[in-house]
Structure 1
């Protein structure tokens, strides 16, 4: 059963990765760059600062840093516990897949830290800004989806790595939002 799922994941990865075109590579390399996420959430944090006091803003920053630390370290724990090679480290995939970066990251890929961090931030900030309408959450979730897909496109994660990371990120972001609302009184 597990072997069948792993094989299906591999086949879907090869298919999705093969859809890449040279003229789109730059876009996906930008999407996978961590600076993009940092810039987007820096802007939304500054907007929040303009609507609150410094103490609440400081608690918000503390919560976000703690959330990213947790998602990142949990991701590393899973990567070393499952020891699933990234597709770019699979010898039998060399020459079959498109690898857009000179290095493909660590040896193991389950699950994607880019996906978990992107979705944690997207769900946290979506909850924070939902009272202003649905446009901001749609934008943030869309960015998280694009960042996550970029990991498949550039050849460093299987789809299940990304999907698992996204689910964990959503859970993490929502949990940290509820925690900060209830205990830290950030909102």
Structure 2
């Protein structure tokens, strides 16, 4: 059963990485997965939260950073080292056909830390702001999913890496949002 799942994962990877190839994706997807590309968004989130919510906004940003730090550390330093799944660009089954649009990366593949981190951000902020701004949650999930899709498209992660990273990151984001609400019961977005 595990082999069948891994075969399906490789087929879906091949579809996204190879069959979906087009000039626009070749240009935009390497940008979408690059954390530096999103610096203006991160600055906006920090500035908005502090401007709008003052001390509670600073605590919110602190909790968001803790959520991402926890998600990143546990994903990259604990789970990846235990699972040790090779990246598509190093996997003997896919390495000959993978289209590498960015350098392969040095670490293991499962779970995707990009997916873990971005879904932790998306779900944390969605849990805090969905009542006031209904559009925030879908926008953040689409943003995180786009970053995740880009990871597959450029050839550095399998879909299963992304899916599990997104689920784990969502759980971390939700738990830290619950913690923030308990710590700051008067917070109203």
Question: CA-to-partner distance for each residue in 1:114-161, whole Å, 9 max, x for gaps?
Answer: 111111101111122212232121111110010000000000000000
- Size of the aligned set, in residue pairs, is 185
Listed as ranges, the matches of 1:5-154 within 5 Å are: 5-18=5-18, 19-53=20-54, 55-76=55-76, 77-101=78-102, 103-154=103-154
Distance 1:50 1:62, change over 3 A: same
2:154 and 2:186 map into 1 onto residues whose CA distance is 38
1:38 and 1:121 map into 2 onto residues whose CA distance is 14
Structure 1 ranges of 4+ moved more than 3 A? none
Distance 1:147 1:128, change over 3 A: same
Q: How far does residue 24 in structure 1 lie from its aligned partner after superposition?
A: 2.1
2:168 is matched with 168
2:28 and 2:152 map into 1 onto residues whose CA distance is 13
Q: How far does residue 61 in structure 1 lie from its aligned partner after superposition?
A: 2.1
Q: Do the aligned residues in 2 keep the contact of 1:112 with 1:162 (CA within 8 Å)?
A: yes
1:72 and 1:114 map into 2 onto residues whose CA distance is 8
Question: CA-to-partner distance for each residue in 1:145-181, whole Å, 9 max, x for gaps?
Answer: 1000000000000000000010011111111001011
Q: TM-score, normalised by structure 2?
A: 0.91
Distance 1:179 1:168, change over 3 A: same
1:186 and 1:148 map into 2 onto residues whose CA distance is 34
Q: TM-score, normalised by structure 1?
A: 0.92
Distance 1:118 1:142, change over 3 A: same
Structure 1: runs of 5 or more not aligned: none
Q: Do the aligned residues in 2 keep the contact of 1:49 with 1:57 (CA within 8 Å)?
A: yes
Choose 88-97 or 140-149, whichever is displaced more. 88-97
1:169 and 1:52 map into 2 onto residues whose CA distance is 25
Q: Do the aligned residues in 2 keep the contact of 1:123 with 1:141 (CA within 8 Å)?
A: yes
Structure 2: runs of 5 or more not aligned: none
Distance 1:61 1:133, change over 3 A: closer
1:112 and 1:164 map into 2 onto residues whose CA distance is 8
